[in-house]
Structure 1
Amino acid sequence: MAGRPKIFDEQEAIQKATEVFRNKGYNTASADELLDAMGIGKGSFYLAFKGGKQELYVRSIKQFAEGFNQKIGQAIEKTDNQIELIRQFFLALADAPDCDIEKGCYLGNALVQLSEKDEDIKKITAELLKGLQKIFAKSIKKAQENKQLKTKENPEILAWHLTNLWNGIHVTRRMESSPKILRSMIEMNLRLLE
């Protein structure tokens, strides 16, 4: 016997759970809040997520990471000035009033909160950072070839610098919320892209 069929969309349910995790954090999000947001019962939940809340969180991070990288990659591919789009992406981080879903801080927070505590989350967040780095490296290399950048620095290293900046901003935002300070810090780092 195959068991009862799923009567809910897993991706949609995970997306709804992501909002709860994003707003409350992994440790604070209760099972009842997650089930209410997802619109499913305990039985359906444990059939789909045998590892419980932790499996749901891991899948939430993975789904979010894939969507985040895809969205950034597509935006960069569609623009004529990829470096300017990257600059604006970073500068927007300084002005975001809170944990803006479009800026990826859900992932940045996951990196800080749980990546050292759980091997699966550590692997997923490492893959996210590698994916982001590859997007940046491709854009930098293309811009260098098209003479849109003066720098002769290795595109791979510059891309890791940007990835580190993205990650670091999410950590710094926890301590310093001044858009002016954040913007100055970001602008100083982005001078490498001239």
Structure 2
Amino acid sequence: MAGRPKIFDEQEVISKAAQVFWEKGYEAASAEELLKAMGIGKGSFYLFFKGGKKELYEKSLQQFASNLLSRLRKEIWESENPFEYLKSFFLELSDSANINKAKGCFMGNALVEMAAKDEYTAKIIAKLLFELEKIFVDVVQTSKNKDLIKTDKSAELIGSHLLNLWNGINITRRMNMDDTSLAALIKFNLEIIE
């Protein structure tokens, strides 16, 4: 017997669950909210997500990060000036029209929530954030090699600074700081690199 066939698109339901987790966090997201958002029943959920809510959460984080990192890599390397693209990527965080502004960064939120509760999940999240940092390091090194930036600081140090900026801005922007002040703060942090 081949078993019960899937009656849903796994990637689609994981994406829908990610939105609930991003808005509510792991603990506050109820099974009812997740099932409603995903549009599947409890039986299907436990049949295909044998690890339950925790497995769904980890898959949501991995899918979210994979999509973000793939898009970022593609857009950076298609741009004429990777460092200028990176600056605009950060400045987008100051746009109050961004519907995700009040939710912060899904990965950063998850790390804060899970670090003290679940070492395994915290390691998964940290690995995903380090992948983001690696993209920043690559952009900085490429920009230095092309003389697009003149800093004498190492690409690794600047990449760590940018990851710290990413995490910090995603928290600061939740304080309802006006767009102009937030943009000025981001620009200041980026200017110290050039």
* TM-score normalised by structure 1 residue count: 0.90
| 1:172 paired residue number | 172
| 2:34 paired residue number | 34
| Contact map agreement 2:104 2:174 (CA 8 A) in 1 | no
Q: Which runs of 5+ in 1 are unaligned?
A: none
| 1:83 paired residue number | 83
Whether 2:17 is the aligned partner of 1:17: answer yes
- Cα deviation, 1:7-50, whole Å, max 9, x if unaligned, reads 22111110111122223332332212211221211111001111
Q: Which moved more, 1:153-162 or 1:172-181?
A: 172-181
TM superposition shift of 1:168: 1.2
Whether 2:113 is the aligned partner of 1:113: answer yes
Higher relative contact order (CA 8 A, sep 6+): 2
- Inter-partner Cα distance in structure 2 for 1:15 and 1:90: 24
- Inter-partner Cα distance in structure 2 for 1:165 and 1:5: 45
Judged with a 3 Å threshold, the aligned counterparts in structure 2 of structure 1 residues 97 and 153 are, in CA distance, closer, same or farther, namely same
- Cα deviation, 1:158-179, whole Å, max 9, x if unaligned, reads 1111011101112223335332
| Contact map agreement 1:58 1:120 (CA 8 A) in 2 | no
Moved over 6 A (4+): none
Q: Which runs of 5+ in 2 are unaligned?
A: none
RMSD after superposition:
2.0
* TM-score normalised by structure 2 residue count: 0.90
TM superposition shift of 1:2: 4.2
The amino acid that maps onto 1:183 is: A
Identity of aligned residues (%): 50
**Matched residue pairs, number?**
193
